Structure 1
Amino acid sequence: MNPYAGLVSRLRAAWLSGKTRPMEYRVAQLEALGRFLDEKKQDILDALASDMRKVTQLDSAFIRKDPYGVVLIIVPWNYPINLLLVPLIGAIAAGNCVVMKPSEISKDVEKLVAETLPNYLDKDCFAVVTAGVEETNKLLENKFDYIFFTGNSSVGRIIMTAAAKHLTPVTLELGGKNPCYVSDTCEVHNVARRVAWGRFFNAGQTCVAPDYILCSVEMQEKLLPALREAITEFYGPNPQESPDFARIMGDKHFQRIRALLSSGRVAIGGQTDEQERYIAPTVLVDVQPKDPIMQEEIFGPILPILTVANVDEAIAFINAREQPLALYVFSSCKKVLRQVLKQTSSGGFCANDTMMHMTLTSLPFGGIGHSGLGRYHGRFTFETFSHPRSTLLRGAGREALNTLRYPPYASRRLPLLRAAAETRRATACALL
């Protein structure tokens, strides 16, 4: 057994209990750290002198936003233009050179971007690479100064491994199984419309789509007819004929998604057409946590419903799994919304709607843990592609002011030196 497994498990249990969340707890711990510095000041100085024979002093500084250099942007197939241009704009604004790798799956967009975009940008600084899996692996052997990848977690690991060889920083925009808890106190028809829109938009091929519903048995009985009504309202009695319902991208993805229909029982939809790569907007019930559909991100127009007794059971279910990219809660009770927000962790959180949080450029978008690393959108995209370079500019004169820091450190100068290096604390602090 790993000798640190018990230690990590103990700290994770404390984290899941919510102990570190209250403001009062954080302030108390920071004050305790301050007492450590006060009470052990001499011991710290003695240890520093013994280990490194040095005493240091803090100076003020400012931050300069520098470009990283040559960055690589790898684009997925589900939103091939948006997920190219949004990071590209930030990379250009930050002053980088960019290599773009569109998805080879969305072939027409790949061709369009490769053939036309270079005509608009400086070819010395911006390039488009068309590549399959083998060629992309070759591309990743080169040293980049930053890599921005959007895709699934399995490929994300490959990207991160390649980046590690050059110690290249990365942003990984991944996916995951986004939970949607529906409490017993909500307006069912509003919930159904907003969930159906988020799940079946682009035939479910959206990384922040609600992946499954958690609700009580009673709410499931109310929700099913409301979902059926919403699907009919959006796509008509036969969604296959609707101009507003998309198709699955590629035969491989179609086969994978169709196989997931074997989980649970089809309550709504379930029709498929392999030739058109059509899978109807589908709702599954009687789904169990161990069913295949609960083992991977669906990324298709299927919505499983799992029943839980209450919000506490829903939270426990969510926390027993990898941190999702998005977490959705529907309730007219603010206490329920705050409880789920407080006791869970996710890349983003949205109450009483789906996907809308990612449309706000004032909010950073990204995952956590299994669902990703890093943030972007709006000004956060510029910051992602900028290195925050700590900078100190000092005048060349007034050398007499610097004599305090130079050795030899006579005992008569130590009070002044300590006063210059002392960290002063207020009785309270603001945590941002």
Structure 2
Amino acid sequence: MASFNAEYTPLEEIPKLRTELRDSFASGLTLPPAFRIQQLRQLARMCQENKDAIAEAVAQDLAKPKIEVFSAEVGPVIERSLYAAERLHEWTRPEKIEVNTPWQKEWDTRLYRLPKGVVLVIAPWNYPVILSLQPLGGAIAAGCCVVLKLSEVAPHYASLLTRLLPQYLDSRAYRIVNGAVPEVTKVLELQWDHIFYTGHGAIARIVSAAAAKHLTPLTLELGGKSPVIIDPASDLTLAARRVLYGKFNNAGQICVCPDYVLIPASAKPAFIAALQDAYKEWFPNGCLESDDFGSIVNPTHHARLKGLLDRTKGRIVMGGRVGDDKKGRMVRMELTVVDGVGQEDALMEGEIFGPILPILEVRDVDEAIEFVRARPHPLVLYAFTQDDDVRRKVLLRTTSGNLVFNDTFMQLSGDLFDYILHVNELPFGGVGESGYGRQAQKWSFDIFSYERSYVDIPPRMEPGLSHRYPPYDGRAMAIMSAATNMKIPKDDVSGGGVEGLF
């Protein structure tokens, strides 16, 4: 709630905290795989044993239904922490590298995956559990020490996690910073071995500038306007239900929310009718009256969304109502569909991040593709089609962090019920304006690790290396310049298509 704040971390304590973690990392505390596995299991235990308290805290901050917290936040953290613990020995095992150069074959060549050091995770408010604990789990698996900066916009969750984390995880290695602009500013003044930020592009630029001062590597999980392309030959009823499901989750306050729909005129009336039918089925009394639909996080964001509806030139064809949280604050908004939206409409100015779905009419799929190409690369591109030619066009002519056909949101799904619909082996992340870096499962481990090459050259190889020492003669020149005379194959331009890419 707006009147509640987790206790902020004193500014003078933040550098001390970082120093303590540096000392812990230098001691080798987090390096043994057994320690990491135990801490990952403790992370899972913390979520499992306190799932009801976590759901209640998130409900107080976001009015998020308990089923959403369990299925999209707590459940995936438990499952992915246990997955990482189970596979940690495999991920950390040194890899023997086979070399092709004959005279190097006797060398001892290996690849080690080692922790980067003391890392910073800056978490957002919209999915406060998984977007704080998933990168934390990746850093634990990698063997890093972690400072976790929680969002002040979700204060009940921040307060709860601040109390729970030291009960389950080793405080010598994992610490929390709470606060707002002064606290995060102080955190960003310090040098870190990696920064993982989830949030808005404007803040990401500030984080990037601060990281650049120390040449700190970054992972940025941002967002943007994730489009939906509808092939008119697809099942429009199914497409409408799945698009509306993606917009419904957390009242549209998620980075992978379908932001707008591009659909040919011939299919638009049936698609809108199917959206309306699904809404009536799911919320017969309207979603403002339902406990299954979340709230807007605070009055500021609500006013922003209300302002978009006030300024749009489109026509509201579903929803449009606002309501309160039964305590007098206007923080709820109905699932809303707006037809007749133009390219320059207020709803197309930036990421909506709320329960408003604009419908834009296009001539055909080709025009939809060109519309997407002309804009910043989205975090996710959704497309509904059963036509392989359309799939190929969307794949090869657009750019996005992820590409999902014939559903929305489910690429992030992780609870046990729909576990089979989540592909643990695929990475998640953006490109360009939607961010960079990949996460989930081993990809999260990789973020906080670095690959350290290892070479041991035996002393007995010395006679074969003597030509490198001056004074140089003709033999030395022949050996050391051999690569400059390598034969370059002739080009074969007959197979110039892109068929092998699809």
Match of 1:102 in 2: 150
Q: 87, 98, 123: which one pairs with 2:171? A: 123
Q: Is residue 455 of structure 2 the alignment partner of residue 392 of structure 1?
A: yes
Is the CA contact (8 Å cut-off) linking 1:235 and 1:245 kept in structure 2?
no
Gaps spanning 5+ residues in structure 2: where?
A: 1-102, 414-422, 493-499
Q: Does 1:88 align with 2:136?
A: yes
Count of residues paired in the alignment: 376
What SS does structure 2 have at the residue aligned with 1:104? coil
Change over 3 Å in CA distance of 1:308–1:106 after alignment to 2:
same
In 2: Cα distance, 1:418 partner to 1:169 partner = 36
Question: Any idea what SS the aligned residue of 2:166 has?
Answer: helix
Shift of 1:125: 1.3
Does the aligned pair in 2 maintain the 1:72–1:144 contact within 8 Å?
Answer: yes
Instruction: Name 2:113's counterpart in structure 1.
Output: 65
Question: In structure 2, what is the equivalent of residue 164 of structure 1?
Answer: 212
Alpha carbons of structure 1 residues 412 and 354: separation in structure 2 relative to 1, 3 Å: same
Q: For residues 180 and 392 of structure 1, what CA distance do their matches in structure 2 show?
A: 49
Deviation string 1:93-147 (CA, Å, 9 cap, x unpaired) is 1111100011110111000111110221211111101011121111110111110
Is the contact between residue 302 and residue 330 of structure 2 (CA under 8 Å) also seen in structure 1?
Answer: no
**Contact conserved, 1:72 with 1:99, CA < 8 A, in 2?**
yes
2:291 equivalent in structure 1: 243
Q: Which TM-score applies when normalising by structure 2? A: 0.71
Cα distance 1:80–1:405, how it changes in 2: closer, same or farther (>3 A)?
same
Provide the residue aligned with 1:332 in structure 2: 386
**Per-residue deviation at 1:392?**
1.5
Distance 1:273 1:227 in 2: 21
Q: Deviations over 1:288-316 (max 9, x none)?
A: 11111101111101100000001121111
> Aligned residues: percent identity?
43
State the 1:386 CA deviation.
0.5
Q: Does 1:407 align with 2:470?
A: yes
Q: Is 251-260 or 421-430 further displaced after alignment?
A: 421-430
State the partner residue of 2:44: none
Rounded Cα–Cα distance in structure 2 between residues aligned with 1:312 and 1:341: 12
Alignment match of 2:335 (pick from 264, 281, 299): 281
**How far is 1:418 from its partner?**
3.7
Match of 1:290 in 2: 344
Counterpart position of 2:420 = none
SS at 1:128's partner residue? strand
Q: Could you tell me which residue of structure 1 aligns to residue 267 of structure 2? A: 219
| Whole-angstrom CA distance in 1 between matches of 2:484 and 2:458 | 20
Cα contact 1:236–1:242 (8 A) shared by 2? no
What is the CA–CA distance in structure 1 between the aligned matches of 2:395 and 2:483, rounded to whole Å?
43
Structure 1 counterpart of 2:144, which letter? N
**1:314 and 2:341 equivalent?**
no
Q: Give the Å deviation of 1:237.
A: 3.3
Shift, 1:407, TM fit: 2.5
Q: Is residue 404 of structure 2 the alignment partner of residue 356 of structure 1? A: no
Counterpart Cα distance in 1 of 2:461 and 2:346: 72
Please give the per-residue CA displacement for 1:376-419, whole angstroms capped at 9, x wherever unaligned.
11101100101112221222333212113323221133333344
Counterpart code for 1:301: P
2:438 and 2:447 in contact (8 A); partners too:
yes
Looking at structure 1, the residues matched to 434 and 487 of structure 2 have their Cα atoms a distance apart, in angstroms, of 39
Q: Match of 2:363, as an amino acid? A: A
Question: 1:231: Cα distance to partner?
Answer: 1.5
Task: Report the AA paired with residue 245 of structure 2.
Answer: W
The aligned counterpart of 2:6 is none
Amino acid aligned to 1:151: G
Seen in structure 2, the aligned counterparts of structure 1 residues 124 and 411 have a Cα distance that, compared at 3 Å, is same
Residues 398 and 130 of structure 1: CA distance in aligned 2, closer, same or farther (over 3 Å): same
Partner of 1:45: none
Q: What is the alpha-carbon root mean square deviation over aligned residues? A: 2.3
CA contact (8 A) 2:119 2:145 kept: yes
Q: SS of the residue aligned with 1:398?
A: helix
Separation (CA, whole Å) in 1 of partners of 2:277 and 2:489: 58
How far residue 250 of structure 1 moved from its aligned partner, in angstroms, is: 1.0
Q: Pick one of 376, 380, 394 that aligns with 2:443.
A: 380
Change in CA separation of 1:422 and 1:132 when aligned onto 2, cut-off 3 Å: farther
Match of 2:122 in 1: 74
Distance 1:233 1:288 in 2: 29
